Amino acid sequence: MKTKKLLAAVAALSISAALGTAASASVLITSPGAYSGPTLNLTPYETGNYNFTFGPVNVGPGLTFTASPGGSGGFPFGGNSGQGSVVGQGGYGLGANGSFGGSAVYIGVDSGTGFDTIMFSAPQTQFYGFWNYAPNVGADATISTLDSGGNVLQSFDLTTLAPISTPGGFNQFEFRGIDGTDQFSGIRFGGNYLLLAATAQGGATGGTPEPATWALMIGGFGLAGASLRRRRALAA
């Protein structure tokens, strides 16, 4: 696990150097540690519906969600529904990485491009979550940290730094987190229909996280949410 963290940290620092910016103290990690960051609460959205929205809506204590799910044209690059992103439930395809749905609750960008944003009421130094995406559909899956004005501080390309592979899986996900000493006021995530899976009360228990990950989920620390969605008609 320490090796994974070190590799992620080195990769993040390499990106900063390539962009000609100062090395940041925030890095992408692939194994959870002690967490004191914001906690997502999607319980109000366990309605059996997709609950499409552009926001703003509350998705946890001090957490405000908004959506910008990409351009027109539908799948694979524009927003599927034209009604915003998903904060709720429903069956969605993840391409080569299988599918997601059943009782799982999630927040979904609903596009191969565009992004969703969660802003915090107070600056944080951590954001942990359980993710999946549809490989090679739209832009690369990316998580970015934001300042209080919504400007990007750092971007972490999951496809390059820590790719996720769950061939043919159902409700499968992998842990990815942003950790360090630099403060940020929100996150932006999108590309490849990036899915942030609700866990504990969200029903996304089809995956096989490590014991430490399950402990994080049960304790309510695991941020959840987003589903890559592909409508049944489109899948057909």
Is the pLDDT at 156 greater than 80? The verdict is: yes
In this prediction, residue 24 has a pLDDT band, given cuts at 50, 70 and 90, of low
List, in sequence order, the alpha helices (H) in 120-229. Answer: 158-161, 211-218
In sequence order, which residues have a C-beta less than 8 Å from that of residue 28 and are 6 or more positions away? Answer: 8, 9, 11, 12, 143, 156, 158, 161, 162, 176, 177, 178
Q: Calculate mean pLDDT across residues 225-233.
A: 32
Say how far residue 186 (Cα) sits from the centre of its chain.
12
3-state secondary structure of 100: strand
In sequence order, which residues have a C-beta less than 8 Å from that of residue 88 and are 6 or more positions away? Answer: 45, 46, 47, 48, 49, 50, 51, 105, 106
Residue with tokens 């809506």: 57
3-state secondary structure of 63: strand
Per domain, the residue ranges of the chain are: 2-235
Supply the pLDDT for residue 199.
52
Is the pLDDT at 209 greater than 80? The verdict is: no
- Express each pLDDT in 114-141 by its tens digit: 899 999 999 999 999 999 999 999 899 9
Q: What are phi and psi of 155, to 5 degrees?
A: -125, 140
- Of 64-73, 92-101, 135-144, 201-210, least confident by mean pLDDT is 201-210
Supply the pLDDT for residue 72.
62
Q: Are 89 and 105 spatial neighbours (Cβ–Cβ below 8 Å)?
A: yes
In this prediction, residue 113 has a pLDDT band, given cuts at 50, 70 and 90, of confident
In this prediction, residue 80 has a pLDDT band, given cuts at 50, 70 and 90, of confident
Alpha-carbon span 200 to 52, nearest angstrom: 22
- Of 41-50, 70-79, 91-100, 157-166, least confident by mean pLDDT is 70-79
In the chain, what are the helix, strand and coil shares in percent, each to the nearest 5?
Answer: 20, 30, 50
Is the pLDDT at 222 greater than 70? The verdict is: no
Is the pLDDT at 176 greater than 70? The verdict is: yes
Q: Are 226 and 176 spatial neighbours (Cβ–Cβ below 8 Å)?
A: no
Q: Calculate mean pLDDT across residues 8-22.
A: 37
Query: CA nearest 227: which of 89, 48, 41?
Result: 89
CA 146, 84, 74 angle in degrees (round to 5)? Answer: 110
Q: Cis check for the bond before 56: say yes or no (omega within 30 of 0).
A: yes
- Of 37-46, 69-78, 117-126, 205-214, least confident by mean pLDDT is 205-214
Alpha-carbon span 197 to 203, nearest angstrom: 9
